[in-house]
Amino acid sequence: MSNNCWLKQSLYAMQMCQMVIQAMWVTDSPLLQLPYFTNEMVEKFKSNKIEDIPDFLNMDNDLRMKLLEMPESKIQEISEVCNHYPSFSMKVEVGNPGDLSSGEEMKIKVSLARDDEEYSPLVSAPYYPKVALNK
């Protein structure tokens, strides 16, 4: 792709695919992927420095419950979607880290690992006409 100058087009195609599946713009808040979230809720969470789904997952449970202000059945649905959200870790190794000079080539090894014990192929995509988490 890169040698044929197709990298930018490939990235745009991947973004477009994600936007179609999630039924949202790539510029929208990731929190809108969660069931029952509205723009008003997103603003409420942003004012508490919760900007994306990992922030939402790692926040204090008491604050999360206070900000959600919804019935337990809806919170359970949000929880189910969050339980299927993938978690990755990234490790970066720089070759010859002590001998770096501006403009020189260097080797960088990037390793990605999925942190989930159980892999779930299901995603929350309620507007996509394929099997998804939402019923």
Higher pLDDT, 124 or 66: 66
- Residue 54 domain-assigned (yes or no): yes
d(CA 38, CA 24): 12
Q: Check residue 132 and give its pLDDT.
A: 53
Over residues 81-114, the pLDDT tens digits come to 888 888 888 999 988 777 777 888 888 899 998 8
Q: Does residue 88 fall inside a structural domain?
A: yes
Does 135 fall in a domain?
no
Q: Is residue 53 in a domain? A: yes
List of E strands, the chain: 88-94, 108-114
Q: Note whether residue 17 is domain-resident.
A: no
Which residue range forms the structural domain that includes residue 71? 28-98+106-114
Q: How far apart are CA 41 and CA 56, in angstroms?
A: 12
Instruction: Count up the domains in the chain and report the number.
Output: 1
Which CATH number do you get for residue 79? 1.10.150.20
Q: Does residue 72 sit within a domain?
A: yes
Q: What is the pTM of this model?
A: 0.70
Length of the chain: 135
